[in-house]
Amino acid sequence: MESLIIKGGVPLHGEVTISGSKNAALPILAATLLTDEPCVIRRVPNLSDTRFMVKILQSLGATAQFEDGTLTVHAKKIRGYADYELVRQMRGSICIAGPLLARLRKARISLPGGCIIGARPINLHLKGFEALGAKIKIEGGYVDATAKRLAGAPIFLGGRAGPTVLGTANVMMMATLADGVTVIESAACEPEVMDLANFLNAMGAKISGAGSPTITIVGVEKLHGAEHEVIPDRIEAATFIIAAAATNGEVTLKGAREDHLHAVIDKLKEAGVSVERRGSNLLARRSGKLKPADITTLPYSGFPTDVQAQMMSLFVLTPGISIITERIFESRFMHVSELARLGADIEIEGPSAIVKGGRPLSGAPVMASDLRASAALVIAGMAAKGATQVNRIYHLDRGYENIDGKLRQLGARIQRVEEK
């Protein structure tokens, strides 16, 4: 396994190009299974997760060619049985089930894996499949689904922690080829859901309301090939904004979408961070002294859970007390103990973390527990005195394209090495 060695104390300066969104790309790649015609997807980030998805598509019989951020997929003839070892390693792979059911009326996939950040059951996916006419059986680690006929229906997808993003995507894809009209209530409103809907409509689907809690899908007989460009990754953009603020630097984010970051920018402003629109780019820097703030993670358009860990690293550097309340995943404070190794003072009380900030950080060996925790530890390491070694960065490579290379371009002293 690989690690990152970070020598902190260097402000970040310069420009960074924001990659395509991982969370948008994965269901869009799965949606290419809905047609027997070629699809061309641009700005696909080169990540371990997207490479896994390409392998899954190929294991189903599709051809896939990845070159310079453009992926061409042709699922002319496919099978409904996905490779167990591939699917179980990545939670996002569950989104192949909807397209397989829609096109083949059958799907057999293993129960998916992913970061250990709390319970993420697929019951809402299965609820949606059954509402459209599928019969589900779970046995031996597999989900077996079959359907003689798919018929549109009203479906409520609200869950304990709010709407399900991948569940909304899965049901929406399945409904495109169902007879009649499907109405998804309590649908996820994330930009990634809107991006998928735009791609499906380019394929000939009839979807309206994406981006709102009610999505209407009028089923069509057949979908065709299409071309599409994936939206910029709002979580990567937020991570670089926070990194600029944590190191007291100034970074221009090329291609970042301000309209996808309103909740993050609002809280950053409250915390003493300036994010300004400069043409098609965003300029991030401190606007003065860092100030404590409180955040609560919520479904979109609230503050994203995927930025919670990075904000904690910023609050660790901020004099005063900041409170972070996690309302989406109950096990998403695993980075707290690792930040403590660097000198952070954080207490956990139920779903909240009380951050007593302002103490100087010093480098130490730390271990990443999940994707966003990895980013938080990198940010803290860049702000700490001395050297920090972040181990198990395979988590980081799941969601950030060439993050160490991009940080070096901004002046960070960061090096990828083999763990000893």
Q: What does the DSSP 8-state code read for residue 255?
A: T
User: CA of 63: how far to CAs of 285, 336, 380, 416, in Å?
Assistant: 44, 43, 41, 32
Active site residue 39: no
How many whole angstroms separate alpha carbon 75 and alpha carbon 56? 12
Cβ count near 74 (within 10 Å) = 19
Q: Which two tokens stand for residue 282?
A: 């965003």
User: Structure tokens of 239?
Assistant: 């991570």
Q: What residues contact 249, with CB distance under 8 A and at least 6 apart?
A: 11, 12, 13, 243, 285, 410, 411
End-to-end CA distance of the chain: 9
Distances (CA, A) of 46 to 19, 22, 412: 9, 9, 22
- CA 279 from centroid of its chain's CA atoms: 26
Q: In which element (H, E) is residue 27 found?
A: helix 22-31
CA distance 147 to 249: 56
Instruction: For residue 235, count other CB atoms closer than 10 A to its CB.
Output: 23
Q: Residue 362 gets which letter from DSSP?
A: B
**Is the CA virtual torsion 267, 269, 273, 278 positive or negative?**
positive
How many Å apart are CA 28 and CA 137, to the nearest integer? 26
CB of 95 closer than 8 Å to CB of 304: no
Residue 61 per-residue DSSP state:
T
Give the C-alpha separation, 34 to 325, whole Å.
39
Identify the active-site residue in 39, 95, 115, 189: 115
- Which residues are part of the catalytic machinery? 115
